[in-house]
Amino acid sequence: GQQLNQSPQSMFIQEGEDVSMNCTSSSIFNTWLWYKQDPGEGPVLLIALYKAGELTSNGRLTAQFGITRKDSFLNISASIPSDVGIYFCAGRSNSGYALNFGKGTSLLVTP
């Protein structure tokens, strides 16, 4: 599988700030997923996107499926200390079961 380009690699922000991260692929995906991984834990699914242009929210998190189907974005509004962790994008095409993951965005939030 291919590795997706995810940016930024890391972010260090103050509590209350908004955060944006994105993921791009060289090929088209039919599903985009966003996961969060806390230290010592497995990734937890945050948001799933199923069609181009789709915008979906989960509390303070909002994610979008890019119109080209080759990118996706995740925004976190009014960050809090418990938002700390690594955020991964993952894409899947219709031709297989495997998820292709980005390298992750490490988020640090200071009180």
Partner 1 sequence: DTAVSQTPKYLVTQMGNDKSIKCEQNLGHDTMYWYKQDSKKFLKIMFSYNNKELIINETVPNRFSPKSPDKAHLNLHINSLELGDSAVYFCASSPRGRPEQFFGPGTRLTVL
Nearer to partner 1, 60 or 92 (CB): 92
We find the least distance from the C-beta atom of residue 78 to partner 1, in angstroms, to be 26
* Contact status, residue 37 vs residue 103, Cβ threshold 8 Å: no
Return the amino acid letter for 57: S
We find the least distance from the C-beta atom of residue 102 to partner 1, in angstroms, to be 9
Q: Which residues bind partner 1 (CB under 8 A)?
A: 1, 3, 30-31, 33, 35, 37, 40-45, 48, 86, 88, 90, 92, 96-99, 101, 103-104, 106
Nearer to partner 1, 24 or 31 (CB): 31
We find the least distance from the C-beta atom of residue 106 to partner 1, in angstroms, to be 8
- With b for 16 or more beta-carbon neighbours within 10 A and e for fewer, the 2-38 pattern comes to eebebeeeebeeeeeeebebbbbbeeebebbbbbbee
**Closest-CA residue to 90 (of 56, 53, 60, 65):** 65
Nearer to partner 1, 14 or 95 (CB): 95
- 3-state secondary structure at position 84: coil
